[in-house]
Amino acid sequence: MSVQQITDWTLLELGRRLVAEGYRFITPTPLTHERVCQRFTPPLAKDLRDVFGWSMPFENTLFSQEELADLQQAHIVEKEGSLWRSTVRWSSLGHLLIAHSAYPTTQPDSVFFGPDSYRFAQLIDAYLQQCSEPVRRVVDIGCGAGIGALVVACVRPEAEVLAVDINPRALRLTAVNAELADTGNVSVYHSDVLGSVEGQFDLIIANPPYMNDSQQRAYRHGGGALGEALSLRIVRESLPRLEKAGSLLLYTGVAMVDGADPFLEAIQPLLGDDRFSWTYRELDPDVFGEELLKPGYERVERIAVVALTVTRRH
CATH code of the domain in which 166 resides = 3.40.50.150
Of 75, 101, 127, the residue that ends a domain is 101
Under the banding of pLDDT at 50, 70 and 90, the label for residue 217 is: confident
Enclosing domain of residue 16: 3-101
Of 46, 73, 101, the residue that ends a domain is 101
Q: What is the pLDDT of residues 56-98, one digit of tens each?
A: 999 999 999 999 999 999 999 999 999 999 999 999 999 999 9
For position 1, what pLDDT does the model report? 60
108 domain residue, yes or no? no
Under the banding of pLDDT at 50, 70 and 90, the label for residue 21 is: very high
106 domain residue, yes or no? no
Q: Is 242 helix (H, G, I), strand (E, B) or coil?
A: strand
Q: What is the pLDDT of residues 173-212, one digit of tens each?
A: 999 999 999 999 999 999 999 999 999 999 999 999 988 8
pTM as predicted? 0.95
The CA-CA-CA angle for residues 87, 92, 97, to 5°, reads 70
Picking from 239, 235, 98, the residue whose alpha carbon sits closest to that of residue 170 is 98
Cis geometry, peptide bond prior to residue 285 (ω within 30 degrees of 0): no
Same domain for 51 and 135: no
Q: What is the pLDDT of residues 288-304, one digit of tens each?
A: 888 899 888 999 999 99
48 domain residue, yes or no? yes
